[in-house]
Amino acid sequence: MAASKTVRSTVLLPEPVHRQVQAVAAAHDVSSAWVIGQPLQYLSTRAGQSELPLGNSRT
């Protein structure tokens, strides 16, 4: 299977969220990009699904 093309993207975060991402990254000895990328990786494995397990579904 051919590797998919990747692109760079910029994300603007509120300062408290940025600090939280940095703290999680430091605690697990990974980059902040890796921490931010994990939910995106999850979403890519769920392509085509109409619902996400976000915890507070709107009904």
Which tens digit of pLDDT belongs to each residue from 1-53?
566 788 888 999 999 999 999 999 999 999 999 999 998 888 778 776 666 56
Helical pair 15-28 and 32-45, crossing angle rounded to 10 deg: 90
Q: Which residue has the tokens 């603007």?
A: 12
What's residue 33's pLDDT? 93
What's residue 55's pLDDT? 61
What's residue 19's pLDDT? 97
Q: Which has more confidence, 27 or 56? A: 27
The C-alpha R_g of the chain, in whole angstroms, comes to: 14
In order, the DSSP letters of 1-38 are -PPPP---------HHHHHHHHHHHHHHT--HHHHHHH
Instruction: Check if the beta carbon of residue 37 is closer than 8 Å to that of residue 45.
Output: no
What's residue 22's pLDDT? 96
What pTM was estimated for this model as a whole? 0.64
